[in-house]
Chain A
Amino acid sequence: MSDTGAWVADTNNRGRSTAARAAAWRFVLQRASAAVLAVCVVIHLATMIYAARHGLSSEAVVARMHVTPAWPAFYALFVVAAAIHAPLGIRTVVDEWLGLRGRVVDAALGFFALLLLGGGLYAVRALAG
């Protein structure tokens, strides 16, 4: 009986530690992606204002993307960071404001992350390829 109790307690602890570990990973990923995005967004804002001043056309955007491979690499990094950051932020909002949580929500957010990743990298390839 005491053995079973210990086993149950152990399983519960293991479950809790898995959840705690997942929460810790979400925290780290959210902040790490935020730090990357902070730099990316400053560059993106400056580029947008520059591009708007110099006439925005698809030709100009595509030409800029071919100046150096650093631009597509930068935007790919930007997309990866955004694909991590946005779903984690939405996760908190739907939890706190709509009371929605659990596997279905996490699956939907996982799908959203893949949509952003796939769509973003496809767009980078469209402009730089």
Chain B
Amino acid sequence: MIDRDASALGTARAARAMRRNDVRARSHAAYWAFMTHRLSGVALAVFLPIHFFVLAQALAHPGTLDAFLDWTRRPAVKLAETLLVLALAAHLGGGVRLLLVEFAGWRAERQKTAIALTAAAAVAIALLFALAA
């Protein structure tokens, strides 16, 4: 009985330690790089069919594309566009890093630098777009 309690206590403690470890393992640049790559990829995959549909309007109804482009001049739409550009740039940078990891070799000491550079480049590109739009 005492043994069982001790074991239960040990299990609870182990579970707490696991949870702590889980959080610690995830508060890491490589985890955020993974999550950014995945979420931006899903966002882009959802956006692509809509993008193609809107562009195809140029053929079906010539006025519709311009009406849509007028709509995109609203600040909220511009912000959404900028976030999409950020997603595209982040997915590009993250993808190039993954290709380098897989085909040029894993260099652990350079990963944090590579991730930081990718993030900086993605934000810079999104800001360039926001300023131009």
Contact = CB atoms under 8 A, between A and B. Distances in A.
Contact of A45 (B58, B72, B89): B89
B56 to A, nearest CB: 5
B59 A34 contact: no
Contacts of A44: 88
B55 interface: yes
B80 interface: no
Interface stretch (A4-12, A14-22, A100-108, A112-120): A112-120
Contacts of B125: 45, 49
Chain A interface secondary structure, helix, strand, loop or mixed? helix
B99 A38 contact: yes
Query: Which bracket fits the contact residues of A?
Result: 35 or more
Contact of A86 (B48, B62, B72, B85): B48
Contact of A90 (B42, B52, B66, B95): B42
Contacts of A116: 48-49, 52
Given A89-B41, A116-B48, 6 more contacts: A45-B85, A48-B85, A58-B66, A61-B65, A119-B49, A122-B52
